[in-house]
Amino acid sequence: MRNIEKYSRGYFMPPVKSLKWTEKEYIEDAPAWCSVDLRDGNQALVVPMNLEEKREYFQLLLEVGFKEIEVGFPAASETEYAFLRTLIEQNLIPDDVTVQVLTQSREHIIRKTFESLRGVNNAVVHLYNSTSVAQREQVFQKTEQEIIDIAVTGAKLLKKYAAETEGNFQFQYSPESFTGTEMEFALEICNHVLNVWQPTPENKVIINLPATVSMSMPHVYASQIEYMSDHLNYRDNVILSVHPHNDRGTGVADAELGMLAGAQRVEGTLFGNGERTGNVDIVTLALNMYSHGVDPKLNFENIPDLLSKYEELTRMKVHERHPYGGELVFTAFSGSHQDAIAKGMKCREDRSRQYWSVPYLLIDPKDIGRQYEGDIIRINSQSGKGGIGYILMQNYGFDLPKEMRESFGYTVKNVSDRLHKELMPNEIHEIFINEYVNIHDPIEFINYRFTQNENYETNVSIKIDNEIHELIGTGNGRLDAISNVLQSTLGINYNHLVYKEHALEIGSQANAVSYVGFTALDGDVYWGCGIDADIMTSSVKALFSAINKMLSRVKPNFESGYSLLNK
């Protein structure tokens, strides 16, 4: 690509090695979660939420289980001011939930912020100012000391107005654009703020280190977090927080490695909504932890409903391949994937397994409200016999023999390829019924009778061209007797008869289903299926279905002893 020389690595490594986080294998405990959907997420919407929509979204966040929710920038917007006052005055904030508000380090903004918080039970007042080299030099044109003075002034004003305002307040400071700030300076300004607030075990403060713009690989961010964690004043009384954005597509990795490096709290949004490429996605983070057997302390047991509400209120669309929430993330179209999933699910049913280990499925879709039927395996021209057989089994109770699944799989794939579309379960079922079940042309089965001596003797009634014929023969079993009479009397030849049967329940009607397959003299294999209330009749219907499928390939000739084959 052109113009590569105009770019450089704009981040700063810590002045000392900070790599202890690399010794940890996984995140052992859930962080404190803070949703910033109603502030950071809302300001990034094409059409921000109105007051009623924000109330509804706030309730949604409570249902998920968030205990910290940033509700807005009340001094900057009358809608956000009114929203916060509504929450407080109508007692809509549960006693165990803390709301958070954002403020710049300017006295009139801080004053109005505390006015908006009058009477709140618990609130975090989030102070920020930008500290990066680019912001200092290009936007504010201030020295490092002047930037520190802005932060310190704001920290003092927070203490002043908190003391004068009814409510219970906790302080938070963010060196905005932390990732573009020299680490020594980021540490210095945070420690100046901490020295003003002087946190205690009973009154801890939050230092939030945002990847306002993600500028480095995730391991660099982790080292930056660890350096700050190791060198902050009052560290035992500081809750270290991260707020990653997703500019490089690494927001989740930044947060996860940041937690390994010492972060105790994460700010983010549902499904990653936010400025530019968005904030870190808390749904993904939480369910990543869940997949490792760690309780994320958030409830995502009904992702479909959550997704529907999210899209309604934000007017944003979650991509079909979005982790966990996307419509297609648990779906396999590939034949080999479908076969592995189907076998894994069958293995899980047959054996008692402590841990989830189904191929290609990181977690059990049902644990987050997704259904196996229509979610896991979907059928198109790339699908295989295992997946197609799984669809019939899960949705309609047909347990096809292995060899028949292959035959039916090609039939379905050919239909999908010809129509150039995905096939729904009802369409697959319709293809199966039309192609395999109770086929009665050109030979229609009417009835049978058996008598048993040394062998089974049978009298079979059939209809050909609207004319009924009675055929008589014997065999060592009932199906064998009927098979023999059809071959000997009608001149049909095949071998290697395969048979399977089981009970079938479709809706409230209980039936028996049988599958019959055989190999014709030319080596082609034909399958038929029979359904009937009587198990023997279902097997006979399956045999006739297979024979009729074979005859559909050969023009029958019913002259001279009923021979069906042209000599």
Residue 509 has pLDDT above 70, yes or no: no
Predicted confidence at residue 560, as pLDDT, reads 40
- The distance from CA 269 to its chain's CA centroid, rounded to whole angstroms, is 16
Mean pLDDT for 289-295 is: 97
Residue 546 has pLDDT above 70, yes or no: yes
In contact, 338 and 384? CB cutoff 8 Å:
yes
The mean predicted confidence, pLDDT, of the chain is 91
Confidence category of residue 189, pLDDT binned at 50, 70, 90 = very high
pLDDT digits (tens, 9 = 90+) for 336-378: 777 788 788 888 887 778 899 999 899 999 999 987 655 666 6
Residue 192 has pLDDT above 80, yes or no: yes
Residue 558 has pLDDT above 60, yes or no: no
Omega before 442 cis (within 30°)?
Answer: yes
Mean pLDDT for 456-466 is: 91
Mean pLDDT for 283-295 is: 97
Residue 477 has pLDDT above 70, yes or no: yes
In contact, 256 and 244? CB cutoff 8 Å:
no
Which residues in the chain are classed under CATH 3.30.160.270?
443-551
CATH for 443-551? 3.30.160.270
Predicted confidence at residue 269, as pLDDT, reads 98
In contact, 251 and 215? CB cutoff 8 Å:
no
Confidence category of residue 381, pLDDT binned at 50, 70, 90 = low
In contact, 81 and 116? CB cutoff 8 Å:
yes
**DSSP code string of 240-251:** EEEEEB-TTS-H
Q: Rounded distance, CA 281 to CA 243, Å?
A: 11
Give the pTM.
Answer: 0.80
Predicted confidence at residue 369, as pLDDT, reads 94
* Better pLDDT: 416 or 78: 78
CATH class name, domain 22-314: alpha beta
Which residues in the chain are classed under CATH 3.20.20.70?
22-314
pLDDT digits (tens, 9 = 90+) for 423-442: 888 898 999 999 999 999 99
- The distance from CA 287 to its chain's CA centroid, rounded to whole angstroms, is 9
Which residues make beta-bridge pairs with 129? Answer: 175
pLDDT digits (tens, 9 = 90+) for 265-280: 999 999 999 999 999 9
- The distance from CA 432 to its chain's CA centroid, rounded to whole angstroms, is 30
Query: What is the helix (H) or strand (E) element at residue 228, kind and residue range?
Result: helix 218-231
Q: Rounded distance, CA 339 to CA 129, Å?
A: 55
**DSSP code string of 6-58:** G--------SS---GGGG--S--S--EEEE-IIIIIHHTSSS---HHHHHHHH
Predicted confidence at residue 368, as pLDDT, reads 96
Predicted confidence at residue 250, as pLDDT, reads 97
Mean pLDDT for 317-340 is: 84
Query: What are the backbone angles phi and psi of residue 98, rounded to the nearest 5°?
Result: -110, 125
